Amino acid sequence: MNAGGAPVMVARDLRVVRGKRTLIRVHHFEVGSGLVHVLLGPNGAGKSTLLKALNGLEQAEGTLEFEGRLVRGSAARLALRRRTAAVAQKPYLLSTSVLNNVASGLRFRGVRRSEAHAAATEALELLGVAHLADRKPARLSGGEAQRVSIARALACDPTVLFLDEPMVALDPPTRRSLVNDLLRILDHRGIAAVWVTHDRDEALAVGDTVTFIEMGEVVQSGPALEVFSRPASESFATFLGLDTYLEGTVIAGDSGDLRLMLGNGKELACGEAPLGHAVACIPPEDVVLLTTAPEHNMSLRNVLHGTVRAVLPDGRLLRVSVAAGDLEIAALVTKAAFEELGLSVGSPVAAAFKAAALHPIPRLDRLQQTP
């Protein structure tokens, strides 16, 4: 990924209001040049509305700056749209040839037909679909049509590319290949992207930064890995599939390390967090199942002994629930590892994980309610 530079777009106090309903309220959002910014969140969270507000398709209150200039009024929003491009969930191709479709953005910008067609041909070649130039949209497969739609956006040589769940209708192999091609082109050309998705795996795969949105507001924003490893709210943790939650209080240990004291008095080493009431989550892929004592050189500081309560398939892996006293820990393991350990429901097992894997989320709501 490109290292990125100064922000090309800055939104402050952005609000989209429809009737009496506030659809989104975003205090601050920046699009860094050459970076892929993922807007992540459940359906109806307001991701697409924010995308449209950033793209000048939706009228919004607040301030929006693009390349240092304030975007205000319909003429400025049109100028913004002519410096950016958008790809929607559906390809939305016009009923004309593929070549004309890909050239259409440039034609709207007043570029001469011959030049627009040359740029369109180049964009089609870049996406590997130049052979479709004379085809009509009705005769394209879903994957081909979305490639054409992306070529149409890239032909405009945008500063920022807005993508609204562009892979949602594609099968996994088509999606993988298109994501790879698109990321390569974005990186090569230094195009910034704002990429809406509700797919956490896609977000992690494509995003330099991730902004989690819920009920029209930004819950958390930051570098993708950091955001994924340290969700700031229970709802985000749930969204990420971190289904082990341990409620307790973060305290400082004797040697200054942080510990989560559970309700039953048990203490576990945990990652960084403010002291106080918290709900901690553990990514299931960070939990290791053991049938023997952990080796000394392993940095698994937390070991909970219990029995296998349930085993459920999760894609190519198995999601194993371990009941350890009144706690329940989920672990993701391969089928081979599960068989190697000789596990079955009811087998004794230890669930072990590093301190950093136990991420306490401060329960601010409860702290505020505490008199």
Partner 1 sequence: MHVIWEGIREALRLIFGGDADVLQITLRSLWVSGVALLIAVLIGIPLGSVIALRDFAGRRFVVTAVNTGMAAPPVVVGLLVAMFLTRNGPLGQFRLLYSTWAMVIAQVIIALPIVAGLSLAALQQLDSGLRQQIAALGAGRLQAFVAQLREIRIALLAAVMAAFGAVISEVGAVIMVGGNIKGQTQVLTGAIVQETRIGRFATAIALACILMMLAFGTNLALTLIQQKGRESG
Q: 104 vs 233, which CB is nearer to partner 1?
A: 104
Phi, psi of 270 (to 5 degrees): -130, 170
The distance of closest approach from Cβ of residue 92 to partner 1 in the complex, given in angstroms and rounded to an integer, is 4
The distance of closest approach from Cβ of residue 367 to partner 1 in the complex, given in angstroms and rounded to an integer, is 43
94 is a site residue for partner 1 (CB under 8 A): yes
Binding to partner 1 (CB under 8 A): which residues in 132-151? Answer: 136-138
162 is a site residue for partner 1 (CB under 8 A): yes
Residue range at the interface with partner 1 (CB under 8 A); choices 3-11, 76-84, 265-273, 348-356: 76-84
18 is a site residue for partner 1 (CB under 8 A): no
17 is a site residue for partner 1 (CB under 8 A): no
Q: List the one residue out of 269, 292, 277 whose CA is nearest residue 340.
A: 292
Residue range at the interface with partner 1 (CB under 8 A); choices 86-94, 169-177, 214-222, 307-315: 86-94
Phi, psi of 282 (to 5 degrees): -125, 120
Position among 92, 180, 188, 345 found at the interface with partner 1 (CB under 8 A): 92
Q: 71 vs 86, which CB is nearer to partner 1?
A: 86
108 is a site residue for partner 1 (CB under 8 A): yes
Interaction site with partner 1 (CB under 8 A) = 52, 55, 57, 78, 81-82, 85-86, 88-90, 92, 94-96, 104-105, 108-109, 136-138, 152, 156, 162
